């Protein structure tokens, strides 16, 4: 019961943060009375039209996109941590995001405008290499798995850099900003891909919540308890890669959300995935929405890439986790 | 596992029940090399079969092969009359539970949450735990002397307590066949004794069929109905403790001249002592 209560409170806070993120911004404050006024139909003044435009074309898609991205990355982290039995695993640190970014940049260089599928190919490629090395027991233990991810990520980033340097300066700047992770300038097109992906992700991950419990507690005993371990590993990692790729294609590489959200969720809702999955999704959304809110309000007149904010927080979190590890 | 120190109330051997686990000429191993070179045995309901042998003789590999964790290269295994290959993962897990060797616990599950996971093969993917599930978990906690640890994190347990939690999860699975890989390895003498009393009681009263891999020849001879002595991936001897724990077998398998056979002065079962 206490867990249900906590999940409920978390849900309420998430909604509150979402409303706050929609309300606050440099262009125009949309406080609650104003939001309600916008919902009503009435005589349209130019000022009201402007506010409506800010709400529907800027704030709402941006906040929804941030929330969906947070959910996707957090679910990816949760899957990878359980399947690799590694509390430090997450899509960014394992190179899945960098693989996706490389795929997307390659497609951009080739003149493509839709980068979702190339990003997916890049993420899946890195995921299969990580899985293969893990199966071969090269990366079976905790530190070497991360090193493999770091190595693959560095390789992908090197290629990415080599490619984007060939773009002209104007394009280069916007690509760099996208690579660092940002929810600015995105619209409903991205929202319609990422929000369904996030909702589907939550459902799929929740369906396998008990197999995830079992595999997190040991591969051999998961087998003895009726889990099809290889299928779960392959499927789970593929799902994490898909979620990461969709997110990268829409809003660039955002690190550490996938690391932080599952840990905070387990603290709050307990270790069993039945409760920690909804908590992870809510916290993931809150982290990215909060980071995005900070990115566009901390420095007046300018905007930071959201990846810079999550990176700064995530780095401290990562070091704290390392220090706590027995 | 309320340490029942009389422990001798059920010393008469069971009449052989039906074979619930049959292992026929299995070969299995890792990479190119076979570790098991043709193992044959049957396990009957209501019996405890102890598996003993030196390090690396294939005891743990045997458990892995019997449960389909590594593929059989030859031979076949049937559990409850059904071939292993014909059973789905869930069906297998409803028939046969395994207590693995110690695996490091990850994340702060409580002991109760952990033991309840043993009910996984009996539950639907999204089904909440039923009353029976919770009752089975509580029973398993009580039997392993862990009731008072139910709310503790599994990462706060000592090695021996964690090992008992692993046993409790296998017990909560409530399967006709139980395979245990050194269930007493890290336990203090009191709990080591109690685990063996519990296993024998499980076999007698609930008609479980139990395989218990052990390095403790004395406790194995004392509590197991039959012993299987393995050596180099083969069965060296299979029979009653008196038939298996003999000076000739010990010398052939363990190659330790100081290991002598002497009957337990209280029960008359064969035991071993070192005479360096």
- Assign 3-class secondary structure to chain A: CHHHHHHHHHHHHHHHHHHHHHHCCCCCCCCHHHHHHHHCCCCCCHHHHHHHHHHHHHHHHHHHHHHHHHHHHHHHHHHHHHHCCCCCCCCCCCCHHHHHHHHHHHHHHCCCCCCHHHHHHHHHHHHHHHHHHHHCCCCCCHHHHHHHHHHHHHHHHHHHHHHHCCCCHHHHHHHHHHHCCCCCCCCHHHHHHHHHHHHHHHHHHHHCHHHHHHHHCCHHHHHHCCCCHHHHHHHHHHHHHHHHHHHHHHHCCCCCHHHHHHHHHHHHHCCCHHHHHHHHHHHHHHHHHHHHHHHHHCCCCCCCCHHHHHHHHHHHHHHHHHHHCC
Question: Chain A closest CA to B129's CA: distance in Å?
Answer: 11
Hey, is the C-beta of A25 within 8 angstroms of any chain B C-beta? Answer: no
Structural domains of chain A, count:
1
Cβ-based neighbours of B177, under 8 Å, separated by 6 or more: B20, B21, B43, B79, B80, B95, B96, B97, B208, B209, B210, B211
B-chain CB neighbours of A210 within 8 Å are 117, 120, 123, 125
pLDDT of residue B17: 57
pLDDT reported for residue B9? 44
How many beta carbons lie within 10 A of that of residue A106, not counting itself? 18
The closest of B201, B186, B241 to B50, measured between CA atoms, is B241
pLDDT > 90? residue A113: no
Confidence of residue A112 (pLDDT cuts 50, 70, 90): confident
pTM attached to this predicted model? 0.91
Four-residue CA torsion sign, B131, B132, B134, B138: positive
pLDDT of residue B3: 46
Which stretches in chain B have pLDDT values below 50? 2-12, 14
What residue in B sits closest to A218 (Cα-Cα)? B103
* A112 vs B: CB within 8 A: no
Contact between residue B272 and residue B261 where contact means Cβ atoms under 8 Å apart: yes
Q: Would the CB atoms of B107 and A224 count as touching at under 8 Å? A: no
B30 within 8 A of B227, measured Cβ to Cβ:
no
Q: What percent of chain A has pLDDT over 90?
A: 53
Q: Place A236 in a pLDDT band, splitting at 50, 70 and 90.
A: very high
Residue B76, pLDDT score: 94
Domain hosting A172: range is: 2-324
Mean pLDDT for the stretch of residues A185-203: 93
What does the block give as tokens for B265? 């002065």
| pLDDT range class, residue A42, cuts 50, 70, 90 | low
CATH number of this structure's domain B19-103+174-274, picked from the four choices 3.30.365.10, 3.30.2010.10, 3.10.20.600, 3.40.50.300: 3.40.50.300
pLDDT value at position A301? 74
The pLDDT assigned to A150 comes to 87
* pLDDT for the residue numbered B7: 43
Q: Which of B92, B100, B107 sits opposite A271 (nearest CB)?
A: B107
pLDDT at A326: 58
Contact A224 B69 (CB under 8 A): yes
Tell me the C-alpha distance between B48 and B217, whole Å.
Answer: 14
Confidence band, pLDDT 50/70/90 cuts, at residue A142:
low
Mean pLDDT of A183-206: 93
> What is the distance between the alpha carbons of residues B76 and A123, in angstroms, rounded to a whole number?
41
Question: If you search the block for the tokens 């060797």, which residue do you land on?
Answer: B101
A298: left (phi over 0), alpha (psi -120 to 50) or beta: alpha
Instruction: Tell me the per-residue pLDDT of A251-294, one tens digit each, with 9 for 90 and over.
Output: 999 989 999 999 999 999 999 999 999 999 999 999 999 999 99
DSSP H/E element including B96? strand B96-99
CATH number of the domain residue A125 falls in:
1.10.3470.10
Asked whether A91 and A80 are in contact (CB, 8 A), the reply is yes
pLDDT tens-digit series, residues B110-168: 999 999 999 999 999 899 999 999 999 999 999 999 999 999 999 999 999 999 999 99
Q: Do B100 and A224 touch (CB under 8 A)?
A: yes
Tell if the CB–CB gap between B113 and A266 is shorter than 8 Å: no
């Amino acid at each position: 019961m206490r867990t249900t209560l906590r999940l409920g409170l978390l849900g309420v806070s998430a909604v509150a943060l979402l409303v706050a993120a929609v309300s606050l911004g440099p262009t125009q404050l949309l406080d609650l009375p104003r939001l309600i006024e916008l919902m009503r139909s009435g005589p349209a003044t130019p000022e009201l039209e402007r506010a409506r435009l800010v709400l529907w074309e800027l704030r709402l898609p941006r906040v929804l996109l941030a929330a969906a991205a947070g959910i996707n990355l957090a679910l990816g982290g949760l899957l990878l941590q359980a399947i690799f039995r590694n509390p430090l695993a997450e899509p960014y640190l394992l190179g899945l995001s960098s693989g996706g970014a490389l795929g997307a940049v390659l497609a951009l260089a080739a003149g493509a405008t839709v980068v979702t599928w190339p990003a997916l190919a890049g993420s899946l490629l890195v995921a299969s290499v990580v899985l293969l090395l893990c199966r071969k027991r090269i990366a079976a233990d905790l530190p070497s798995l991360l090193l493999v991810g770091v190595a693959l990520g560095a390789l992908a980033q090197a290629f990415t850099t080599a490619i984007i340097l060939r773009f002209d300066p104007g394009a280069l700047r916007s690509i760099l900003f996208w690579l660092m992770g940002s929810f600015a300038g995105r619209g409903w097109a991205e929202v319609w891909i990422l929000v369904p992906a996030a909702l589907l992700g939550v459902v799929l991950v929740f369906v396998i919540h008990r197999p995830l419990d079992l595999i997190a507690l040991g591969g051999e005993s998961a087998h003895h308890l009726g889990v099809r371990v290889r299928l779960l590993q392959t499927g789970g990692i593929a799902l994490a890669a898909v979620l990461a790729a969709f997110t990268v294609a829409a809003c660039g590489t955002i690190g550490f959300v996938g690391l932080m959200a599952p840990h905070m969720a387990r603290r709050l809702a307990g270790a069993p995935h039945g409760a920690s999955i909804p908590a992870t999704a809510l916290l993931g959304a809150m982290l990215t929405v909060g980071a995005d809110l900070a990115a566009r309000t901390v420095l007046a007149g300018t905007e930071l890439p959201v990846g810079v904010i999550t990176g700064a927080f995530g780095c401290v979190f990562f070091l704290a986790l390392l220090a706590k590890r027995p | 596992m309320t340490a029942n120190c009389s422990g001798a109330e059920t010393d008469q051997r069971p009449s052989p029940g039906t074979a619930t686990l049959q292992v026929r000429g299995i070969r299995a191993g890792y990479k190119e090399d076979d570790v098991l070179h043709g193992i044959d045995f049957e396990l009957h309901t209501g019996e405890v079969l102890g598996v003993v042998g030196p390090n690396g003789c294939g005891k743990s590999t045997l458990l892995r092969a019997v449960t389909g964790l590594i593929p059989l290269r030859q031979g076949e295994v049937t559990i409850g009359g059904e071939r292993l290959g014909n059973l789905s993962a869930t069906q297998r897990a409803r028939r046969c539970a395994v207590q693995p060797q110690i695996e490091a616990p990850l994340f702060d599950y409580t002991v109760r949450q952990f033991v309840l996971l043993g009910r996984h093969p009996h539950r639907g993917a999204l089904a909440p735990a039923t009353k029976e599930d919770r009752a089975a978990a509580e029973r398993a906690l009580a039997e392993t002397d862990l009731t008072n640890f139910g709310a503790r994190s599994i990462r706060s347990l000592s090695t021996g307590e964690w090992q008992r939690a692993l046993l409790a999860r296998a017990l909560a699975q409530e399967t006709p066949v139980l395979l245990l890989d050194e269930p007493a390895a890290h336990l203090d003498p009191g709990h080591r004794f109690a685990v063996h009393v519990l296993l024998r009681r499980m076999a007698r009263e609930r008609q479980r069929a139990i395989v218990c891999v052990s390095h403790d020849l004395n406790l194995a001879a004392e509590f197991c109905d039959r012993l299987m002595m393995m050596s180099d991936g083969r069965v060296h001897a299979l029979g009653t403790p008196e038939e298996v724990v003999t000076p000739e077998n010990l010398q052939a398998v363990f190659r330790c001249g100081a290991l002598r056979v002497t009957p337990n002065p209280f029960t008359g079962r064969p035991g071993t002592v070192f005479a360096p």
